[in-house]
Structure 1
Amino acid sequence: MNANANGGGAADLLADFAANIEELEVEKRRIADRIKEVKASARSAGFDTKVLNQMLRERRMSQLERQEFQALCEMYRAALGMLGGTPLGEAARKRLMGEIPRPPDPADASTPAAPEAVDRTMDIEAARAAGRAAAREGKRIIDNPYMADDPRRAAWDEGWCAETGTDGMEVPEAWRRCKKSDDNPPDGGDDDGGGQ
């Protein structure tokens, strides 16, 4: 009789768990439908939902995670030749093609030196030197303090790369995808091990 009572109690408990999970699944579907409705409203208001989804992913990141993600995206774009038309891409292209303008020769009186051009060249050289110093201090290439639209960013990267003797594209071990073992379910799979 005790075994029957214990079996009945376990069966009731199992039935409660199953009912709770089923209710949560229904609620999950309702929430997913509401999210789809909000995204459809955003699309009809003229917003790009792919970009909105990316912004939502980035909003879930901490500031440090977001900065590292953006720096990695920039490095990947550079490696894949996708920086055309951006300040960093243009600077890289001009550097490779030997088109970087030289500062005016002070001895040449026919070309008066523009103060901004001289200052910018000096700033770029200072940024390049800062990149070398940062590499000697063991800083990572993503620690570049300049924004993407600042020409000093490329100079800082050049200095860092020249000092380390690399192209800065080494992916740190912590940022690499983990190799999947046969024991782990594939991404997006259920954690309960069941297929249905």
Structure 2
Amino acid sequence: MNNETTNNVGGIAADRLRSIIERVERLEDERKALGSDIRDVFTEAKSAGFDVKVIKQLLKLRKQEPAEVEEQETILDAYRRALGI
């Protein structure tokens, strides 16, 4: 069996495909590890007396553009006033 046959099966570059699959698998493993690390940080925050739900809201807000945050707060305020809250 020659090298070209090993690397190209049915028009598919087998080595390239294997490389891509293995990279995705490594990244998925890293994502699992990071998820565990994030949960640990939230546990630490909770044990320090912080409200984890509020921290998650703050993280979400920090990802948004300031104008978008301001618009949402304005709408939320209007809805609260309409409901008498």
TM-score in same-fold range (> 0.5)? yes
**Which string of whole-angstrom CA distances, capped at 9 and with x for unpartnered residues, describes residues 161-186 of structure 1?**
xxxxxxxxxxxxxxxxxxxxxxxxxx
1:82–1:10 CA distance, 2 compared to 1 (3 A): farther
Greater fraction of residues in helix: 2
1:82–1:37 CA distance, 2 compared to 1 (3 A): farther
Q: Secondary structure at the match of 1:69?
A: helix
Q: Secondary structure at the match of 2:64?
A: coil
**In the alignment, what sits opposite 1:39?**
42
Aligned length: 82
RMSD: 2.3
Alignment partner for residue 76 of structure 1, among 73, 79, 82? 79
- Percent identity at matched positions? 35
Specify every segment of 5 or more residues in structure 2 that has no aligned partner in the other structure, as ranges.
none
Which structure exhibits the higher relative contact order, with contacts defined as CA atoms closer than 8 Å and separated by 6 or more residues? 1
**In the alignment, what sits opposite 1:21?**
24
1:12–1:53 CA distance, 2 compared to 1 (3 A): same
TM-score, normalised on structure 1? 0.38
CA distance in 1, matches of 2:81, 2:69: 18
Structure 1: which amino acid aligns with 2:8? N
**In the alignment, what sits opposite 1:7?**
9
CA distance in 1, matches of 2:4, 2:81: 69
Specify every segment of 5 or more residues in structure 1 that has no aligned partner in the other structure, as ranges.
84-196
**In the alignment, what sits opposite 1:59?**
62
